[in-house]
Structure 1
Amino acid sequence: MKKLIAGVVLGVGLTAMAHGAGDPQAGEQNAAACQACHGQGGANPIMGVYPKISGLGEKYLHNQLVAIQKDERVIVEMTGQLTGKSNQDLQDLAAYFAGQEMGVNQANPDLVEQGQALYRGGNMASGVPSCAGCHSPQGHGNAPGGYPALGGQNAEYVAKQLHAYRDGTRANGNNAAIMMDIASKLTDFEIEAVANYVSGLN
């Protein structure tokens, strides 16, 4: 009897988990508008300042889509793009783009050494932790924790986000306080170097 109850509880738990997950096939059907700016599969944006949204992690993507829809994260270019979409629609889009592969850019060799040192070891003198601690040594992120993959992301976009965290114009999300604190300790050169480094990281 105990085994039967445990099985029912487990089954209900798994069903609930499955119900909350996005459907990548449904997401693909609604992704055409996104791909106009972010490229096929979200992997090749039309401008370097736009993010690659492929492979970032479903939880992170869903959280950002919800924040944008609720105007908790204001992105002018996204105005009206998510109007009328249900939470399931956003979950489906997140599932679709999370399953796409992010290509790697060519990093500037003049900045790789400095960027690598900061990404992997942080800056003890200024109290900056390593980026790899949350975003993984290979830049794959931590999908269950909601930390996005960074390896291959456009350097211009990464730099723009670090500046936004530093000046407080990006303050949404569970991890915003962490990122704002870290960014507040970064110099302009460190931002440029680490953004360059992750753009070529795989």
Structure 2
Amino acid sequence: MKFHSGLITYIFLALILINPAYSDIEKGKELSASCAACHGDDGISLNSVWPKLAGQNPKYLASQLHEFKKGPNGNRNNAVMYGIAVNLSDQDIEDLSEYYSSLKSTVGLTKDEYLELGRNIYRGGNMEIKMQACISCHGPNGQGNYAAAIPMLSGQHSQYTYQQLKNFQTSMRSNDYNKMMRNIVHRMTDEEMKAVASYIEGLY
């Protein structure tokens, strides 16, 4: 009996070491009250300059909150988000991220005038200028990549997506791994960014 109880204790401790953080979705829901004014009660922001958070990759959300928490010393400085994130513990960030990830997202519409150009860029890039296609990292339906913390794009507000592309282009935002986004968007025209942002909003 002593052997079995010792083995159980060993396995339990090993699991804790492997998975040191456990997210609490209910705690995340409580914490989300301070986010609702901008991001909505259900993670669907009413103002298209602010991102939808519902259904987003939790690893991506957590990584962005950690970036915001760094404030001016980080690579994604935003005064409003810094004021919120700076008060969050690592566990708070995990709980919030898992909560928003558990919510159901929505899909918008692609403007007709941007459908063909946006689709071509998203799915095929632009080989003439060696611009990589969005599909290669974000997937055919814009679901992103969980393990690599690559964000879900499907249904995201086009105005928000366009602004983030502009921020990467000007290096106002520089928290992309190995300059991956900046190396892509610096080749894009303003019209191409608007088109792919609109295409993404209707993607599902």
The one-letter code of the counterpart of 1:46 is L
Change (3 A) 1:146 1:13: farther
Tell me which of 76, 81, 95 is aligned to 1:78. Answer: 81
Distance 2:103 2:49 in 1: 20
Q: Which residue of 1 aligns with 2:17?
A: 16
Q: How far off its partner does 1:11 sit?
A: 5.7
Q: Could you give the per-residue CA deviations for residues 117-175 of structure 1, whole angstroms, max 9, x where no partner exists?
A: 110111101111111111110111111111000000000000000000011100025x2
**Are 1:188 and 2:190 matched, yes or no?**
yes
Q: Which residue of 2 aligns with 1:172?
A: 175
The one-letter code of the counterpart of 1:156 is Q
Distance 2:169 2:14 in 1: 40
**Are 1:123 and 2:126 matched, yes or no?**
yes
Could you tell me whether the CA contact under 8 Å between 1:38 and 1:46 is conserved in 2? yes
**Are 1:32 and 2:28 matched, yes or no?**
no
Could you tell me whether the CA contact under 8 Å between 1:135 and 1:148 is conserved in 2? yes
Could you tell me whether the CA contact under 8 Å between 1:129 and 1:182 is conserved in 2? yes
Tell me which of 132, 147, 150 is aligned to 1:147. Answer: 150
Q: Which runs of 5+ in 1 are unaligned?
A: none
Q: How far off its partner does 1:10 sit?
A: 7.1
Radius of gyration: which is bigger?
2
TM-score normalised over the length of structure 2: 0.88
Distance 1:41 1:17 in 2: 32
Could you tell me whether the CA contact under 8 Å between 2:70 and 2:82 is conserved in 1? no
RMSD: 2.1
**Are 1:48 and 2:48 matched, yes or no?**
yes
Change (3 A) 1:127 1:21: farther
Q: How far off its partner does 1:26 sit?
A: 1.2
Shifted more, 49-58 versus 160-169: the winner is 49-58
Q: How far off its partner does 1:13 sit?
A: 5.2
Aligned length: 196
Please give the secondary structure, in 2, of the residue aligned with 1:61.
helix
Please give the secondary structure, in 2, of the residue aligned with 1:31.
helix
Change (3 A) 1:84 1:92: same
Could you tell me whether the CA contact under 8 Å between 1:170 and 1:176 is conserved in 2? no
Q: Which runs of 5+ in 2 are unaligned?
A: none
TM-score normalised over the length of structure 1: 0.89
Q: Which residue of 1 aligns with 2:116?
A: 113
Distance 2:153 2:108 in 1: 11
Could you tell me whether the CA contact under 8 Å between 2:70 and 2:86 is conserved in 1? no
